[in-house]
Structure 1
Amino acid sequence: MSQTQTWEKKEGNVGTLTITVPAEDFDKALDQAFNKVKKDIQVPGFRKGKIPRQMFEKRFGVESLYQDALDIVLPGAYSKAIDETGIKPVDQPSVDVKEIEKGKDLVLELEVTVEPEVELGEYKGLEGKEIDAEVSEDDVNEQIEALLGQYAELVVKEGEVAEGDVANIDFKGFVDGEAFEGGEMEGHDLEIGSGTFIPGFEDQLIGLKAGEEKDVEVTFPEEYQAEELQGKDATFKVKLNEVKEKEAKELTDEFVKEELEGFEGVETADEVKKQIEEDLKNFKEQERDYELRESLVVQAAENAKMEIPEAMVESEQQRMLQEYEQRLAQQGLNLELFEQISGQTKEDLLEQMKDDAFKRVRTGLTLQAIAQAENIEATEEDVDNELQKLADQFQMAKDDIKKVLGDLSVIENDIKNQKAIEFLVDNRKQ
């Protein structure tokens, strides 16, 4: 006799999965459980771990093996039941043991939360958002100005502080007439307009001249990193030591040859302009394609109906948090240090991610439903091409990538989702 299972869908996304494990399979699990626990048992007349099975059951009862046997049987039985019934669980099930006895079939009832059924709305003939991808002369000049700004030199300026200048200052901060820790510095260079100081601080320096002093009145933000200063009014006694302004470079052939970096194979100012124009065009075209695809996906998801289980949203929040931690690591930070700097906890971040997590889940389910409705598949060639891209990206052999990934279903699902998006694009309102 082999294992049997039945699935009964109930209200919402929850159902009952009943699994019947044959008696011989459960008895084998009992044998494994006994061999596991006997190693630590010592009784008079027998060496440790050598107690006979019959004596064990007489002394401790066969029931003492049931939980270990259940732990041995359940993972495989549950996995097989999922495959046989075709359900897609999204959370750990709750298990109710209905019948458990040596020599008899094991009967389990599991309450399982599964992926919701998606009722697709309108997804063909949608009107996508199309943005202008044209590159103007002003666009090119703006990029050139920003590029030259990276090479600008600071020179001492006579006259008043203005937006964009760098002010060298001494300052000391007071709250309620008392100086506070960390509020004093000498010879600090502050770029006016950079937003690096407390809101309102930099603006009040505009118009000062070197050698002048001023009391700057500000209010610390309610979410300031130092709790004792949150929301407090403060006075900073500031002395302006020196003012420097940025002296921009000019885009000349000489500048391109002698100073400009990051533009391989170019030697003239005209060639730089041409490359900037081409880069801008490529960027705007990518931005246009992204906006078009995103707008169509959002519309299709909003038109679909589904009841999303909270467990799916929570799982997505955890994935988003892992992504965020990876980005922090690239900056040399970790979550603990981020919490100290920002004053935000992991729970705060998860709550902030909740809406986006919900949208991600809804989008994923919608694309999955579209792929199913349109018989969209990930071919072997598609998967092979994706594996090759990963191999090239990480400079590994393709077979090694496959070994690392193990289950290729994630790649297959991603390919189907991308094909579903292409379907939306190809079938949009023209």
Structure 2
Amino acid sequence: MKNKLIAMTLMATMAISLIACGKDNKDSDEKKKSEKEATTTQTEIEYNVDDYVTLGDYKGIEVTLDGNYEYTDEGFDEYVQSTINSEALFVEDSTQTEIKEDSIVNVDYVGSQDGVAFNGGSAEDQMIDVANNCSAGSMSGYIEGFTAGLVGHSVGEEVAYEVTFPEEYQNEDLAGQTVTFTFQVNYIAKAITSKSDLTDEIVSENFGYDTVKEYLAYLKEQYTKTLEDNLANDKETAVLNSIINNSTVSEIPEELLQARVDLILYTQDLQYQSYGTTMKDYAESMGYDYDEIVSQLTESVKESTETEMILEAIAKAEGLEVDEDGYNEFITPIYTQMGYSDLDSFYTAFSVDGYGGERYFKLAYLTEKATDFCVENAVVNFTDSDAE
């Protein structure tokens, strides 16, 4: 069972927060559990999904995909180039010796004031984009004028010149101050932008493969898997959209919607509390209307909860159940990756008034099974007749 739709109301909104809130400490888990149990009622929300959902066609749905899912050498070459570019990889270019306005330069530097090096002003083996006054391959910019004095100098030189920090610089000790940066120019570099630039040495030093051939073989496996994943994801999305369009949800039980919203707000608050504030206080301190945030969140949750209810109705109609082995395979990586040591603590952390965490995730598992069922029974056509 692939974790594609886990907790449709929740995961996309809060993945980072949930990880941050998870604990790998048993004592902390128990403390959290007891605190949560003290504030969570035991009265469970009850509803019959069939009273709210009218299902349309969901078996044998016919969908048409227009993506590119077939392996081609041209597509693979583009994938390799994109992968290499994303690495922002630079190597020494021994044919260049003088720094130009558009050079990429590897340097060591020391920042000093009145002859004394200041904290945070020194670094070694830094790849600098002279033209953009930033770290090569990133948008991490330097203060104005930091790289300008390098132009015209040569590899092996030591270059020193003054640079003035901006008045609004975050370090008050340096704000508005003029300092001296001394650079040791190690070499001028060139970007690796395509597979033709690769050598066994570059691959070995940067990607952990002995030869270019081995690295390209790995990338081919990744590219093929990406095509397969794209096909699976696009197929699932098309089928789900069709199911949603074919079905009707008359309304969402008010208590269920509130439970979904409460769970998101609760877990978000845990994140902010770790920084000594609350989601509400932080939002208002940044000039946001907290009530408007909650209102927008509620509208978003309505949509995901409607989809959840449709899939719940399909699971019920098809007699899908929570099987122990499948559920363990589904839930174990979720709670362990979030840092919880046991299921009880995990369930407690995701419980709100009227809806327990165990019930929540078992429903998430059933909606996954319902999705898989519909996808497996769908008929897929392609706009490209050669696509498989």
TM-score, structure 1 length as denominator?
0.47
> Does the 8 A contact of 1:128 with 1:293 survive in 2?
no
Report deviation, 1:278: 1.4
Q: Tell me which of 402, 405, 409 is aligned to 2:347.
A: 405
Report the 3-state secondary structure (helix = DSSP H, G, I; strand = E; otherwise coil) of the residue aligned with 2:216. Answer: helix
Which amino acid in the other structure matches residue 304 of structure 2? R
Report what 1:125 is aligned to: 60
Which amino acid in the other structure matches residue 287 of structure 1? N
Which amino acid in the other structure matches residue 268 of structure 1? T
Report what 2:378 is aligned to: 428
Which amino acid in the other structure matches residue 260 of structure 1? N
> Does the 8 A contact of 1:390 with 1:401 survive in 2?
no
Residues 307-322 of structure 1: pairs in structure 2 closer than 5 A: 307-309=250-252, 312-321=256-265
Report what 1:255 is aligned to: 202
Q: Tell me which of 287, 294, 306 is aligned to 1:350.
A: 294
Q: Does 1:139 align with 2:79?
A: yes
CA distance in 2, matches of 1:342, 1:372: 45
CA distance in 2, matches of 1:312, 1:416: 17
Which amino acid in the other structure matches residue 144 of structure 1? I
> Does the 8 A contact of 1:118 with 1:306 survive in 2?
yes
| Distance of aligned partners of 1:193 and 1:411 in 2 relative to their CA distance in 1, 3 Å threshold | closer
Report the 3-state secondary structure (helix = DSSP H, G, I; strand = E; otherwise coil) of the residue aligned with 1:376. Answer: coil
> Does the 8 A contact of 1:297 with 1:421 survive in 2?
yes
Report what 1:369 is aligned to: 313
Report deviation, 1:245: 9.3
Residues 211-222 of structure 1: pairs in structure 2 closer than 5 A: none
Report what 2:368 is aligned to: 418
Report what 2:239 is aligned to: 296
Q: Tell me which of 249, 257, 262 is aligned to 1:306.
A: 249
Report deviation, 1:319: 3.7
Report what 1:88 is aligned to: 47
Which amino acid in the other structure matches residue 199 of structure 2? T
Which amino acid in the other structure matches residue 58 of structure 2? Y
Report what 2:100 is aligned to: 158
Report deviation, 1:382: 2.6
Report the 3-state secondary structure (helix = DSSP H, G, I; strand = E; otherwise coil) of the residue aligned with 2:52. Answer: coil
Identical columns (%): 19
| Distance of aligned partners of 1:245 and 1:299 in 2 relative to their CA distance in 1, 3 Å threshold | farther
Residues 150-189 of structure 1: pairs in structure 2 closer than 5 A: 150-151=89-90, 157-159=99-101, 189=133
Report deviation, 1:427: 1.5
Report what 2:223 is aligned to: 280
Report what 1:271 is aligned to: 214
Report deviation, 1:359: 1.8
CA distance in 2, matches of 1:268, 1:337: 55
The higher-RCO structure (CA 8 Å, 6+ apart) is 2
CA distance in 2, matches of 1:323, 1:359: 20
Report deviation, 1:342: 6.2
Tell me the alpha carbon deviations over residues 128-168 of structure 1, each in whole angstroms, 9 at most, x when there is no partner.
35332335222222212322x14468998534799xxxxxx
Report deviation, 1:371: 0.8
Report deviation, 1:372: 1.1
Report the 3-state secondary structure (helix = DSSP H, G, I; strand = E; otherwise coil) of the residue aligned with 2:206. Answer: coil
Kindly report the root-mean-square deviation, in angstroms, between the aligned alpha carbons of the 2 structures. Answer: 5.5
Report deviation, 1:340: 7.9
Report deviation, 1:415: 2.3
Moved more, 289-298 or 336-345: 336-345
Which amino acid in the other structure matches residue 85 of structure 2? E
Report deviation, 1:405: 3.3
Report what 1:31 is aligned to: none
Which amino acid in the other structure matches residue 429 of structure 1? V
CA distance in 1, matches of 2:264, 2:98: 47
| Distance of aligned partners of 1:210 and 1:157 in 2 relative to their CA distance in 1, 3 Å threshold | closer
| Distance of aligned partners of 1:355 and 1:279 in 2 relative to their CA distance in 1, 3 Å threshold | farther
Report what 1:381 is aligned to: 325
CA distance in 1, matches of 2:296, 2:90: 38
